Structure 1
Amino acid sequence: MTHRFSSRLALATALAGFLSLGAGQTFAASHVVLALGGQAETLDPYNTNTTLTTAVTKSFYEGLFGFDKDLKVQPVLATGYSVSDDGLVYDIKLREGVKFQDGTDFNAEAVKVNFDRVRNPENKLARFNQFNQIDKVEVVSPSEVRITLKQPFGPFINSLAHASAAMISPAALTKWGNKEIAFHPVGTGPFEFVEWKQTDFVKVKKFDGYWRKGFPKVDDITWKPVTDNNTRAAMLQTGEADFAYPMPYEQVATLEKNDKLNVTVSPSIIERYLSFNMLQKPFDDLRVRQAINYAINKEALAKVAFSGFAKPAEGIVPEGVLYAHKLPTWPYDPAKARELLKEAGYPNGFESTLWSAYTTTTAQKSIQFVQQQLQQVGIKLKLQALEPGQRTEWVQTAPDPKTAKVRMYYAGWSSSTGEADWALRPLLATEAWPPKLNNTAYYSNKTVDDLIAKAMKSTKDDEKKTLYAEAQEQIMKDLPWAPLVVEKNVSASAKRLSGVYVMPDGNIDTSEIAVSQ
Structure 2
Amino acid sequence: MRKAHYWKILLLVVISAVLVVGCSSKESSGERKAGSKTESKEMVIAVNENFISMDPHNTGDTNSNSVQSAMLEGLLGFDQDGKIIKKLAEDYSVSDNALEYTFKLRQGVKFHDGEAFNAEAVKANYERIMKDDSLRLNSRGFSLITKIDVINDYELKITLKEPYPSMLTRFVSAKILSPKLLKEGNNNIAKKPVGTGPFKFVEWVQGDHLTVERFADYWDKKDRVQKITYKPVPENGSRTAMLKTGEAHVIYPLPSQNIKELESNKDIKVEKIPSTIARYVSINTMKKPFDDPRVRQAMNYAVDKNAFINVVNGGFGLPLDSIIPSKTLHYVKQEVYEQNIEKAKQLLKEAGLEKGFKAEIWGNTNSDTMKGMQFIQQQLKAIGIDVEIKSMEEGTLSDEIYGAQKPEDTKLQMWYVSWSAYPSDTTNATRPLFYGGSFPPNGANTAYYKNEQVDKWIEEVGKTADPAKQAEIYSNIQSTIYKDTPWIFLGVDEILAGKRTNVEGVVIEPGGGIDVTNANLK
Which amino acid letter does the alignment assign opposite residue 117 of structure 1?
R
Q: 1:150 aligns with which of 151, 156, 161?
A: 161
Q: 2:94 aligns with which of 65, 73, 83?
A: 83
- Supply the distance in 2 between the matched residues of 1:27 and 1:478 (Cα, whole angstroms): 59
Tell me by how many angstroms 1:455 deviates: 1.2
User: Counterpart in 1 of 2:78?
Assistant: 67
* 3-state SS of 1:46 partner: coil
| Structure 1 residues 254-293: aligned runs within 5 Å | 254-293=261-300
1:469 aligned to 2:479?
no
- For structure 2, which runs of at least 5 residues remain unmatched after alignment? 1-35
User: Counterpart in 2 of 1:185?
Assistant: 193
Q: 2:139 aligns with which of 129, 146, 165?
A: 129
Tell me by how many angstroms 1:386 deviates: 2.2
Tell me by how many angstroms 1:391 deviates: 1.6
* 3-state SS of 1:171 partner: helix
1:362 aligned to 2:373?
no
Which amino acid letter does the alignment assign opposite residue 508 of structure 1?
I
User: Counterpart in 2 of 1:167?
Assistant: 176
- Supply the distance in 2 between the matched residues of 1:27 and 1:187 (Cα, whole angstroms): 29
Structure 1 residue runs of 4+, over 6 Å off?
Answer: none
Conserved 8 A contact 1:27-1:515:
no
- Supply the distance in 2 between the matched residues of 1:317 and 1:27 (Cα, whole angstroms): 46
* 3-state SS of 2:91 partner: strand
User: Counterpart in 2 of 1:343?
Assistant: 350
User: Counterpart in 2 of 1:44?
Assistant: 55
- Supply the distance in 2 between the matched residues of 1:300 and 1:194 (Cα, whole angstroms): 44
Tell me by how many angstroms 1:178 deviates: 2.5
- Supply the distance in 1 between the matched residues of 2:60 and 2:494 (Cα, whole angstroms): 20
Q: 1:327 aligns with which of 327, 334, 350?
A: 334
* 3-state SS of 2:422 partner: coil
1:492 aligned to 2:502?
no
1:220 aligned to 2:220?
no
Alpha-carbon distance change, 194 to 278 in structure 1, aligned in 2, over 3 angstroms: same
Conserved 8 A contact 1:93-1:144:
yes
* CA deviation map 1:463-498 (0-9, x unaligned): 111111111111012111111100111001010001
- Supply the distance in 1 between the matched residues of 2:210 and 2:467 (Cα, whole angstroms): 41
- Supply the distance in 1 between the matched residues of 2:167 and 2:479 (Cα, whole angstroms): 25
* CA deviation map 1:200-259 (0-9, x unaligned): 0100111111011124x1110001000011111100000100000001101111100000
* 3-state SS of 1:411 partner: strand
* CA deviation map 1:252-288 (0-9, x unaligned): 1110000000100010000011111111100010110
RMSD between superposed Cα atoms in Å: 1.3
Tell me by how many angstroms 1:132 deviates: 1.6
* 3-state SS of 2:389 partner: strand
| Identical residues among aligned pairs (%) | 40
* CA deviation map 1:304-337 (0-9, x unaligned): 1111012111110001111122112211101111
Conserved 8 A contact 1:94-1:143:
yes
- Supply the distance in 2 between the matched residues of 1:99 and 1:492 (Cα, whole angstroms): 34
| Structure 1 residues 375-414: aligned runs within 5 Å | 375-414=381-420
Tell me by how many angstroms 1:27 deviates: 6.2
- Supply the distance in 2 between the matched residues of 1:269 and 1:367 (Cα, whole angstroms): 21
- Supply the distance in 2 between the matched residues of 1:305 and 1:325 (Cα, whole angstroms): 25
Larger radius of gyration: 2
Alpha-carbon distance change, 136 to 254 in structure 1, aligned in 2, over 3 angstroms: same
Tell me by how many angstroms 1:77 deviates: 0.3
1:106 aligned to 2:105?
no
- Supply the distance in 2 between the matched residues of 1:195 and 1:393 (Cα, whole angstroms): 23
- Supply the distance in 2 between the matched residues of 1:283 and 1:161 (Cα, whole angstroms): 36
* 3-state SS of 1:430 partner: coil
TM-score calculated relative to the size of structure 2: 0.91
* CA deviation map 1:176-205 (0-9, x unaligned): 212222122110001110000110010011
1:314 aligned to 2:314?
no
Conserved 8 A contact 2:276-2:423:
no
Conserved 8 A contact 1:323-1:420:
yes
| Structure 1 residues 445-456: aligned runs within 5 Å | 445-456=451-462
Conserved 8 A contact 2:73-2:87:
yes
1:211 aligned to 2:219?
yes
Which amino acid letter does the alignment assign opposite residue 210 of structure 2?
V
Q: 2:204 aligns with which of 192, 196, 205?
A: 196
Q: 2:45 aligns with which of 34, 41, 56?
A: 34
Q: 1:230 aligns with which of 237, 240, 244?
A: 237
Conserved 8 A contact 2:50-2:395:
no
Q: 1:116 aligns with which of 120, 124, 127?
A: 127
Aligned residue pairs total 486
User: Counterpart in 2 of 1:3?
Assistant: none
Tell me by how many angstroms 1:29 deviates: 2.9
Conserved 8 A contact 2:149-2:157:
yes
User: Counterpart in 2 of 1:303?
Assistant: 310
Tell me by how many angstroms 1:156 deviates: 1.1
- Supply the distance in 2 between the matched residues of 1:63 and 1:100 (Cα, whole angstroms): 13
Conserved 8 A contact 2:329-2:423:
no
